[in-house]
Chains A and B, each alone.
Chain A
């Protein structure tokens, strides 16, 4: 890695950090603007409520609260839960769930991308044949059928009719329990990636440099492997960002269906009981994941595509 690349990554890291601070600020503000408080119990008197607010610092002006939150966050303190498990450290609440949620999500992205790319390339190489049409139908289905519908279908098929996998998430069998959710989530990824890969591959194969490779007397396999593959993958990488966002929202519902003790489910619960700190922490985690993914995508884009690489390249 040369100096200009390091400089570029440094710059991107700084921008990412600023982005995250802004995200936290906006989240913080929006949560404060939400109606209700975490302490909506009718049995509490006005005085008791004020005492609780004072205890958690919720009586402070907005900027003081924000400043305190940021200050604590930098030391790794995300505050305590107000509702879900009262007074439990949010980091303790969130920590064990990260692995479960991200594990399933990353597995779905990897599985979906690999299968999607292969499927897309296959369809492109067999353009306008039956196989291509089937792949296209599959892609349209995959894009239009939400992951939770597929999840329910899989549950019915492989959980109830042929009980191969557990219906609900079992913490004692995390791998076996993750199979169905991963498949359900990856379906959309496969479809998106396959569709995109197919059209990219087709346009790459029609390009002049493929004609030149042909004129060099290379065989078809070499042409595809050495000249078409990389140029097809570059644009495919860019859609992984949006796909990831899709995946995050999809996983929230899916975690409910499969009763997965993950972040998505925690977030939904947190929102229903106005558990500020939990909502903030989980949303922040999602943002970090997204920003980091975008960073990785941009950097890998630069590695795989010399035109994006910074500096003069010499």
Chain B
């Protein structure tokens, strides 16, 4: 895939928050790439920094957060001149971010549709608002486009629904509206922050299918943030496993799922609930993530890692390429040629074998 067009390039991103408990280094050197039409997923526990990363991309970090270093390069072809342009979002002013990036180039689908719509504004107005605001569309134009969008996201009786208020719609419907809002200014990148977590299981699959469907139709690039590995497997091309503000394993879906290398990824995959496991208890990763208010020496996961090497406690592991792959990378000393040969736990291995069979 030589002609892939890179749309987002994050390099060595460091973000910290100033709190009453001191400075918290929430993001510690994140690298990410997003190509046109492709989907990446960022998975990790709460507090691993997956939401913060995407908020930085949108330029909506909380007021106490700052980008200490790094670049977030966003590239696009100008609609009028066709010229290829690149900006560093990390360097843009709030005004430029608001006017040029947010909503127009990068849009976001929020986690909880029950609370992310304005309760006192009709659905129609909420979808029409950004296009009128950014593109100065007339009411009639905006109305027409909103109708199309609502139909696109699978809302039946769209004309009637436009006059409805959020409380008159079900959770699944509301999430469709949130997606319609995100699409209203024809963005290139769609960030989905746990888009199905707050929804009924029966609705989840439908919303995921919808997002995939729209992605194909509009050739969107999508970033999923989730802790649900099941969702990732369904929708993403690439997975980035995040831990304590760092990406610890990245690769194609199959690489990370069928050939996980980082002990944290092993833990995550083992902790996935499963119907036909022999164990009585669900596996959990022991311990808790480190407090990022303190300096982290070595590998942040080391204290919870039963396979940790001596060096893990002292020196931070670099990104190692997994042999035979140009996409699969792991930040673990276990990948070092001189490291002892540590294999993933037997239970997980069996599980992956089963997954592979089901996948075929």
A interface list, Cβ under 8 A from B? 207-209, 211-219, 222, 226-227, 230-231, 234, 304-307, 312-314
Task: State whether A212 and B117 are in contact (beta carbons under 8 Å apart), knowing that A217-B103, A218-B98, A219-B98 are contacts in the complex.
Answer: yes
Q: Indicate if the CB atoms of A213 and B118 lie closer than 8 Å.
A: yes
B163 proximity list for chain A (CB < 8 A): 313-314
Contact in complex: A214, B130 (CB < 8 Å):
no
The listed residue with most B CB atoms (<10 A of its CB), out of A208, A215, A231, A304, is A215
Q: Which 6 A-B pairs have CB atoms at the shortest separation, nearest pair first?
A: A217-B103, A217-B102, A208-B116, A306-B165, A208-B115, A216-B103
Of B102, B111, B118, most buried by chain A (CB within 10 Å of CB) is B118
How large, as a class, is the contact surface on chain B? 35 or more
A129 CB, nearest partner CB in chain B, Å: 12
Q: Which residues in A have their C-beta under 8 angstroms from that of B26? A: none
Q: Which of A215, A222, A227, A230 contacts B108 (CB 8 A)?
A: A215
Say whether B116 contacts A211, CB under 8 Å: yes
Which residue of chain B has its CB nearest to the CB of A209? B118
Flag whether B357 is at the interface (Cβ < 8 A): no
Cβ contact within 8 Å between B118 and A217:
no
Give the secondary structure class of A's interface: helix
Chain B residues within 8 Å of A222, by CB:
133
A212, A219, A222, A314: residue with the most chain B Cβ atoms closer than 10 Å: A212
Return chain A residues, CB-CB under 8 Å to B134: 217
Q: Which residue of A lies closest to B133 (CB)?
A: A218
Report which of A209, A214, A304 forms a contact with B60, defined as CB distance below 8 A: A214
CB pair A217 B130 closer than 8 Å:
yes
For B58, the chain A residues whose CB sits under 8 A away are 215
> Hey, which chain B residues are within 8 Å of A212, CB to CB?
108, 110, 116-118, 178, 181
Could you tell me the distance in whole angstroms from the C-beta of A31 to the nearest C-beta in chain B? Answer: 46
A41 CB, min distance to chain B CBs, angstroms = 62
Residue among A208, A211, A214, A216 having the largest count of chain B Cβ atoms under 10 Å: A216
User: What's the minimum C-beta distance from B326 to chain A, rounded to whole angstroms?
Assistant: 34
Q: Is the CB of B112 within 8 A of A208?
A: yes
The reply to whether B167 and A307 contact each other, CB–CB distance below 8 Å, is yes
Chain B residues near A313 (CB-CB < 8 A):
163-165, 168
